[in-house]
Chains A and B, each alone.
Chain A
Amino acid sequence: MSACVSRTSIWKWQRKADFEEKMGGRFQLVHAKPSRTAAILLSWFLFVLGIGLYVHAAHKRHQENAEDRVVPTIPHMLHSTYEAAFRPAEDDEPTMGENANMPQRFLASMLWKDTKASARRFFYSLLLLIPAIFLGLHMGLFPYVGVFFSRFVLFFDKIIALSLLPILFIAVGIDELSKIMLIVIGVTPTIILDTFNLTRSVPQEQVVKAFTLGAGDFDVAYRVVLRQIAPRVLNSIRLNLKAVMLFLFAGEMIASTDGLAYRIALLRRHMGMDVIIPYVLWVALLLFLVDMTMRLINRKLHPWFREA
Chain B
Amino acid sequence: MALIQFEKVSVSYGAPSHPVLSSIDLSIEEGEFVCLLGQTGCGKSTLLRLVLGSEQPCEGRVLIDGTEHDQPDPICGYVPQKYSLFPDKTVMGNITFGPEVSEFNLLTRLTPRYFRQRREFRQQAMQYIRRIGLQDADAGKYPDQLSGGMQQRVAIAQALVNRPRILLLDEAFSALDPGTRRDMQVLIRQLWQGTGVTLVFVTHNTQEALQLGTRVIVLARETPNHGSRVVLDLAVSSSCAADEFSRLVARLDSAAGSTRESEELTPTIGGATPHDLAAAQDLLPNEI
Contact = CB atoms under 8 A, between A and B. Distances in A.
A304 B162 contact: no
A219 interface: yes
A60 interface: no
Interface stretch (B94-102, B126-134, B233-241): B94-102
B284 interface: no
A214 B74 contact: yes
Contacts, number: 80
Given A212-B74, A214-B102, A304-B142, A206 B86 contact: yes
B115 to A, nearest CB: 17
Contacts of A39: none
Given A213-B74, A213-B97, A208 B102 contact: no
A109 B98 CA distance: 56
A215 B87 contact: no
A302 B88 contact: yes
Interface stretch (A154-162, A179-187, A222-230, A261-269): A222-230
Mostly, the A contact residues are helix
Nearest to A215: B101
Interface residues on B, range: 20 to 34
B162 A214 contact: yes
Interface residues of A, number: 26
Interface in B57-87: 71-74, 76-78, 80, 82-84, 86-87
Contacts of A50: none
B106 interface: yes
A206 B106 CA distance: 19
A203 to B, nearest CB: 4
Given A219-B106, A304-B144, A213 B80 contact: no
Interface in B11-54: 52, 54
Contacts of B82: 203, 205
B88 A227 contact: yes
B87 A228 contact: yes
Interface in A195-225: 203-206, 208-216, 218-219, 222-224
A103 interface: no
Given A212-B76, A212-B77, A304-B144, A205 B84 contact: yes
A208 B72 contact: yes
A218 B106 contact: yes
A306 to B, nearest CB: 7
Interface of B: 52, 54, 71-74, 76-78, 80, 82-84, 86-89, 97-98, 101-102, 105-106, 142-144, 158-159, 162, 164
